Homo-oligomer: A and B are copies of this chain.
């Protein structure tokens, strides 16, 4: 058993209730006891990405059983290619066969796609049953597992379906990252480093100073940095649950161009975090051109991203196609794009008055 108090990274407060985010090594063994603390008493329906099956999902199952929970396990091949209603229906059928009722609990164990898809199934089963997230990728840990966003693709677009469905508990075992491919680790660091750039200069310093140690997941510093990234995300969600205010949108730093890059390059060319890293460079270029930040901060951002083995330029993409794609981004309203831009290290704001010419120059500057 780990030191549970020390492992509490955040308590997220939402209209659907408050929940704890636990981050640490070997915390998977606490899953049952942490779930007990939520007061939930139903059966646990564990849906795992099949790469986690039978281990380490068995360890999660054993922890649930030690907590007194009857468990059922469904292992699924889950990826961007089958993040659709057909896969959700496999989960529905399984829940129906086992007569899962409103007192039961769905536990999603896997990367971001698993959380999005299983979270959607839980949000829509019997008008919403409890969901617990056990994210096993770095990107899901520091970003998508917190905040209740769920999502499913339809042929006409990515993540067009979804619901806000807050979890009852998020439990992140850093040990799960040991088997994550290096490229996916880097993509996860992109989101964590982003948190530093937009909101926490001290966290940014840590990421800058300790890149080798972070990447090796050596010692306590990486765990503390993940915990701090989680806390930032939790604070933002608590302040702006539905992204209707000015807070949660800041997390989209690098995402306007990032999404455009993913779309224009064809999904799958870049990992999401990689596209965000390039998008952060384009956004920094916009801020520099608008006189909001100096060249030094742009260079610093490039250096930090490169130290985490992230791309900072894209090749083979057409500037006009990218700019067109930014306009259909979901953050665009009534024709104007809400850009998230840096004002300094650890400080971001939003601007709607960015001339397209400035965007074009900044995008051209990150294209080969």
Contact = CB atoms under 8 A, between A and B. Distances in A.
A126 B89 CA distance: 19
A242 to B, nearest CB: 8
Nearest to A151: B127
A92 B96 CA distance: 24
A96 B156 contact: yes
B163 A123 contact: yes
Interface residues of A, number: 35
B156 A93 contact: yes
Contacts of A150: 127
A102 interface: yes
Contacts of A96: 154, 156-157, 160
A297 to B, nearest CB: 32
A89 B127 contact: no
A68 interface: no
Given A92-B154, A93-B156, A154-B92, A161 B330 contact: no
Candidate in A92, A93, A103, A151 with the most chain B CB atoms within 10 angstroms: A92
Nearest to A328: B99
Contacts of A160: 92, 95-96, 125-126
A358 interface: no
Interface in A314-368: 328, 330, 333-334
Given A85-B85, A149-B127, A328-B99, A161 B333 contact: no
A163 B330 contact: no
A102 B330 contact: yes
A15 interface: yes
Interface in A79-105: 85, 89, 92-93, 95-97, 99, 101-103
Contact of A85 (B89, B127, B156, B328): B89
A364 to B, nearest CB: 27
Contacts of A123: 163
Contact of A163 (B89, B124, B149, B151): B124
A270 interface: no
A164 B124 contact: no
A162 B127 CA distance: 4
A56 interface: no
A90 to B, nearest CB: 12
Contact of A154 (B15, B89, B149, B162): B89
A96 B158 CA distance: 11
A316 to B, nearest CB: 27
Given A150-B127, A330-B102, A333-B103, A92 B164 contact: no
8 contacts: A85-B89, A102-B330, A125-B161, A126-B160, A126-B162, A127-B163, A128-B162, A128-B163
Interface of A: 15-16, 85, 89, 92-93, 95-97, 99, 101-103, 120, 123-128, 149-151, 154, 156-157, 160-164, 328, 330, 333-334
Given A85-B85, A95-B160, A127-B149, 9 more contacts: A92-B160, A93-B154, A97-B156, A102-B330, A124-B162, A125-B160, A126-B162, A127-B150, A127-B162
